[in-house]
């Protein structure tokens, strides 16, 4: 069997010094039928390793479930890496950050009475042990010493930026060993003395996360990791985007130069991201350092391989740099870029959200408000309903809105409260009387810092003119799967050309004889979600920066594809357009 160890100076593959040239590729952000293509293109850029996180919350949407079907088939992903002759680095967390909802921690974990997370807490440790035991049959037989591709496992993720609980790290290492992992373990931290000191243990190989000033950062890392290979485990070659901000890019020359410095200094590298992919569905995370900032749907990341799997100028520049350090075959390069096609689809079928509620599940009645987490509902939308009767002026206010509330009185829109604007109160019409409904969107759980695990929905109390509203009916809206809504829309025969006045589902069909990927333009639409053949492409929002959604080709058939849109506000045209190119929005410069 092959061996992989950490020597006094180098990583050692079968006893020989080895440099890791790795690229991050998250299987959970790429359609499974495209995994092989993306992995091959990584090898063709000169990489010898693929790195992935494992998102615990995606595999375990509820306690007791561990889903490894379709796009969550990590074993298949690792087998494809092996089939391409590459190695794998796996980062099972349990916390992964990654601009992913809650940094990968299941929201239900926080209802189980854990006093602390990412710490030596018995409830948290028991849950993560169960999680790692589920991963064992996937990971253990695929380690290099068992003939598989896995050469390294990372423990936690930038733990030094969060905590300093050595007992937690020690126990986490123990659990990872007990489930049968035998390859070397690493940690990653930002190259600051306190973080590197707190984020690791003497027996773990320390690595750094950074995207520039490589020489200086490696020096800092060397002070904390006096022996063995230096590795940048997250070499940031681009960045993520927030709704309402600009699309982040880096210059090709600077990124390629920084990579070259790293390689010249003999370091190993994991390019973060080699290929970013997409936050499909409701999977995006958020940041909050005083202002809540949800992550957009695209995770293109300005990576060398773009969201649609096309090699960019950065890809070719990186390939040139890597070619100086390893032999590459110039005939073995990716095929030219695939272009989307332009056509419009009308959306004649429509179902107001109000008329779809009986398909969503049972209402429950409560004395006082409940968060969506209180109801065991962990993502997407929740509808709150109560009756009011006010004389004179009426001001509605909440302790906290997470994250965006649309307020309706007798189904008429009254206004919106947004967490990112720190809004908690709203004027209702004078003498407001009738059914008050509040549609609340969880726009993604914070994935970094102390706000991990905070509940969503309406938090605390609601009042009108200072008087608490006690009686509530609450309905979770499970929008991950909308098959019953799609079917109801399909049954409609009458064509409608009425304006799109939300919240409403609208739907149409289209053929796609040519095959290949598409880019859906969201111009003219305000805010909502899109599904193609029942698969959720993710959220859109007129705020931008992104104005197209990526539609992976494998989702499409040559005939009779269904596109379903939930528009929360309004659209001017009752049609959508597919466009030839991706539009990820304005950049800073
Ligand atoms: C850190 C985290 C990653 C990711 C990047 C930013 O390095 O470890 O998961 O969040 O920041 O993209």
CATH code: domain of residue 444: 2.60.120.260
Do 191 and 128 touch, CB atoms closer than 8 A? no
**Is 162 found in the same domain as 105?**
yes
CA of 447 to the centre of ligand 1 (A): 9
Average pLDDT over the chain, rounded to an integer: 96
CA distance 444 to 284: 5
Say yes or no: CB of residue 234 within 6 Å of ligand 1: yes
**Is 160 found in the same domain as 104?**
yes
Where residue 579 falls among pLDDT bands split at 50, 70, 90?
Answer: very high
Where residue 46 falls among pLDDT bands split at 50, 70, 90?
Answer: very high
**Is 377 found in the same domain as 250?**
no
Residue written as token pair 């010249």:
264
**Where in the sequence is the domain holding 534, given as residue range(s)?**
343-352+481-588
Do 563 and 334 touch, CB atoms closer than 8 A? no
pLDDT above 80 for 496:
no
Say yes or no: CB of residue 232 within 6 Å of ligand 1: no
Where residue 498 falls among pLDDT bands split at 50, 70, 90?
Answer: confident
pLDDT above 80 for 338:
no
CA of 88 to the centre of ligand 1 (A): 19
Q: Which of 456, 477, 498 is the last residue of a domain?
A: 477
Going by their DSSP bridges, the two strands 457-464 and 394-402 should be labelled as: antiparallel
The number of distinct structural domains making up the chain is 3
**Catalytic center residues:** 158, 234
Q: Kindly report, residue by residue over 408-441, the tens digit of the pLDDT.
A: 999 999 999 999 999 999 999 999 999 999 999 9
Say yes or no: CB of residue 409 within 6 Å of ligand 1: no
Three-state DSSP at 103 gives helix
Please state whether the peptide bond connecting residue 505 to the residue before it is cis, i.e. omega within 30 degrees of 0.
Answer: no
**Is 134 found in the same domain as 30?**
yes
Tokens of 306: 């773009």
pLDDT above 80 for 339:
no
Q: Is 344 exposed, middle or buried (0-12, 13-18, 19+ CB in 10 A)?
A: middle
CA distance 506 to 492: 11
pLDDT above 90 for 514:
no
**Is 159 found in the same domain as 86?**
yes
Nearest residue to 504 (alpha-carbon basis) of 338, 336, 354: 354
Residue 414 dihedral angles phi and psi, to the nearest 5°: -110, -35
Nearest residue to 256 (alpha-carbon basis) of 318, 324, 326: 318
- Please give the C-alpha separations between residue 34 and each of 41, 91, 127, in angstroms, as whole numbers: 11, 21, 32
Say yes or no: CB of residue 97 within 6 Å of ligand 1: yes
What is the pLDDT averaged over residues 211-220? Answer: 96
**Is 207 found in the same domain as 141?**
yes
Do 466 and 522 touch, CB atoms closer than 8 A? no
**Is 421 found in the same domain as 472?**
yes
Do 275 and 38 touch, CB atoms closer than 8 A? yes
pLDDT above 70 for 495:
no
Report which ligand 1 atom has the smallest distance to the Cα of 234: 7
What is the pLDDT averaged over residues 238-248? Answer: 98
Q: Kindly report, residue by residue over 175-205, the tens digit of the pLDDT.
A: 999 999 999 999 999 999 999 999 999 999 9
Say yes or no: CB of residue 287 within 6 Å of ligand 1: no
**Is 509 found in the same domain as 563?**
yes
pLDDT above 90 for 244:
yes
Q: Whose CA is nearest to atom 10 of ligand 1?
A: 98
């Amino acid at each position: 069997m092959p061996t992989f160890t950490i020597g006094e100076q180098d990583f050692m593959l079968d006893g020989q010094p080895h440099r890791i040239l790795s690229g991050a590729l998250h299987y959970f952000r790429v359609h499974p039928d495209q995994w092989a293509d993306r992995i091959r293109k990584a090898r063709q850029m000169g990489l010898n390793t693929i790195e992935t996180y494992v998102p615990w919350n995606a595999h375990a949407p509820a306690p007791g479930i561990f889903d490894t079907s379709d796009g969550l088939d990590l074993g298949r992903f690792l087998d494809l890496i092996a089939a391409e002759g590459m190695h794998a680095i796996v980062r099972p967390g349990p916390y992964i950050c990654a601009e992913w909802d809650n940094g990968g921690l299941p929201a239900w974990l926080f209802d189980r009475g854990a006093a602390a997370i990412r710490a030596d807490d018995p409830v948290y440790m028991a849950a993560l042990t169960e999680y790692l035991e589920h991963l064992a049959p996937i990971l253990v037989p695929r380690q290099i010493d068992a003939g598989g591709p896995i050469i390294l496992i990372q423990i936690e993720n930038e733990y030094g930026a969060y905590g300093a609980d050595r007992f937690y790290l020690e126990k986490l290492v123990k659990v990872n060993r007990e489930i049968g992992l035998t390859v070397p373990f690493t940690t990653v931290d930002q190259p600051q003395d306190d973080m590197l000191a707190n984020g690791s243990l003497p027996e773990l190989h320390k690595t750094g996360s950074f995207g520039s000033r490589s020489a200086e950062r490696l020096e800092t890392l060397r002070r904390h990791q006096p022996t063995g290979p230096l590795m940048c485990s997250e070499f940031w070659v681009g960045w993520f985007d927030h709704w309402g901000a600009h699309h982040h890019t880096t210059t090709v020359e600077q990124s390629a130069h920084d990579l070259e410095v790293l390689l010249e200094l003999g370091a190993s590298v994991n390019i973060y991201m080699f290929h970013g992919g997409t936050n499909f569905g409701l999977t995006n995370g958020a940041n909050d350092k005083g202002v809540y900032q949800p992550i957009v749907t695209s995770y293109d990341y300005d990576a060398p391989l773009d969201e649609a799997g096309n090699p960019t100028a950065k890809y070719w520049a990186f390939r040139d740099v890597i070619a100086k350090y390893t032999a590459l075959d110039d005939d073995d390069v990716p095929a030219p870029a695939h272009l989307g096609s332009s056509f419009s689809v009308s959306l004649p079928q429509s179902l107001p959200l109000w008329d779809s509620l009986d398909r969503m599940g049972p209402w429950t009645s409560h004395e006082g408000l409940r968060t969506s987490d209180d109801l065991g509902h962990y993502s997407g939308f929740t509808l709150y309903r109560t009756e009011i009767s006010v004389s004179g002026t009426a001001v509605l206010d909440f302790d906290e809105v997470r994250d965006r509330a649309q307020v309706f009185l007798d189904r008429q829109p009254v206004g919106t409260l947004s967490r990112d604007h720190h809004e908690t109160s709203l004027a209702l019409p004078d003498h407001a009387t009738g059914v008050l409904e509040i549609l609340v969107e969880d726009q993604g759980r914070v994935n970094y810092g102390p706000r991990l695990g905070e509940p969503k929905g309406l938090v605390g109390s609601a009042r009108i003119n200072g008087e608490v509203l006690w009686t509530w009916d609450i309905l979770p809206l499970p929008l991950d799967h909308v098959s019953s809504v799609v079917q109801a829309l399909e049954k409609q025969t009458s064509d409608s050309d009425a304006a799109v006045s939300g919240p409403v589902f609208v739907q149409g069909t289209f053929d796609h004889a040519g095959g290949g990927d598409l880019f859906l333009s969201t111009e003219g639409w305000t805010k909502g979600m899109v599904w193609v053949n029942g698969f959720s492409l993710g959220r859109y929002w007129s705020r931008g920066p992104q104005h197209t959604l990526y539609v992976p080709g494998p989702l499409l058939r040559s005939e009779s594809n269904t596109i379903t849109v939930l528009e929360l506000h309004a659209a001017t045209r009752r049609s959508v357009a597919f466009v030839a190119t991706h539009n990820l929005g304005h950049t800073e410069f």
